[in-house]
Chains A and B, each alone.
Chain A
Amino acid sequence: MWSYSRRGFTSVASATVAQHQQKARYKPVIGLEVHVQLNTKTKLFSRCPTTDSSPNRRVLPFDMATPGTLPSLNSQCIYRALKMARLLNCHVSEWSRFDRKHYFYGDMPAGYQITQNHHPIAKNGNFGFWVFDEHLDVPYWKEVKILQLQLEQDSGKTIHLPSTSSEGGEGPKSLIDYNRAGCALIEIVTSPCFETAIEAIRFVQTLRLLIIHHNISNGELHKGHLRVDANVSLERDTVPGTRTEIKNMNSIRTIHTAINFEIARQFEILNSNGTVQKETRAADQDGRTVSMREKDDVDTDYRFMVEPNLPKLRIKEEWLTMAEEEMENAGKADFENLRDVIGFDPRSSIHIAEDPDLLAFVKRCIRLRDSSVSAEEILYWMKQLKTTMQRSKCNYPPQSEFFARQFMTLLNLVRQRRLTHLRVLDLLRYYSTTSEGDSSEGEEEGVTEFVEKHQLWRIEDPREIERLVGDMMRRNEKLVEKARNGNSKSFNRLRNLINEATEKRIDIEELCEVMKQFLDQKLV
Chain B
Amino acid sequence: MPPIDSKLIANLERLSLVRFDSEQAVANLRNAIRVAKRLELVDTEGLEPMYTVWEDQECPTFEDIEEEPLPIEEVFRNAPVRFDDFFVTPPGNVPLESNERFDLNVINEWDTIGKPVAPQAKSTRLVEGKEK
Q: Which residues of A are interface residues toward B (Cβ below 8 A)? A: 40-42, 46-49, 54-61, 64, 72-78, 102, 104-106, 158-160, 171-178, 293-294, 297-298, 301, 303, 306, 308, 310-314
Contacts and interface: CB of A to CB of B under 8 A. Distances in A.
B87 A106 contact: yes
A184 B76 CA distance: 24
Contact of B64 (A42, A64, A105, A314): A42
Given A104-B17, A106-B89, A303-B15, A294 B95 contact: yes
B72 interface: yes
A41 B64 contact: yes
B87 to A, nearest CB: 4
A106 to B, nearest CB: 4
Contacts of B72: 56-57
B70 interface: yes
Contact of A310 (B59, B65, B67, B92): B59
A41 B75 CA distance: 21
A73 B60 contact: yes
B62 A75 contact: yes
Contacts of A312: 57-59
B126 to A, nearest CB: 21
B99 interface: no
Given A46-B67, A47-B67, 9 more contacts: A47-B64, A60-B67, A74-B62, A173-B88, A173-B90, A174-B88, A174-B92, A311-B54, A311-B60
B interface bracket (residues with beta carbon within 8 Å of A): 35 or more
Contacts of B85: 54-57, 177
Nearest to B54: A311
B105 interface: no
Q: Is the interface of A mostly helix, strand, loop or mixed?
A: loop
B52 interface: yes
Contact of B69 (A41, A48, A310): A48
Contacts of A314: 58-59
B48 to A, nearest CB: 12
13 contacts: A42-B66, A46-B67, A48-B69, A57-B75, A58-B69, A59-B69, A73-B59, A75-B62, A160-B91, A172-B91, A173-B88, A173-B89, A312-B57
B86 A75 contact: no
Contact of B92 (A104, A297, A303, A306): A104
A57 B90 CA distance: 22
B83 A175 contact: yes
B64 A76 contact: yes
Given A73-B60, A73-B61, A298-B11, A55 B92 contact: no
Contacts of B58: 311-314
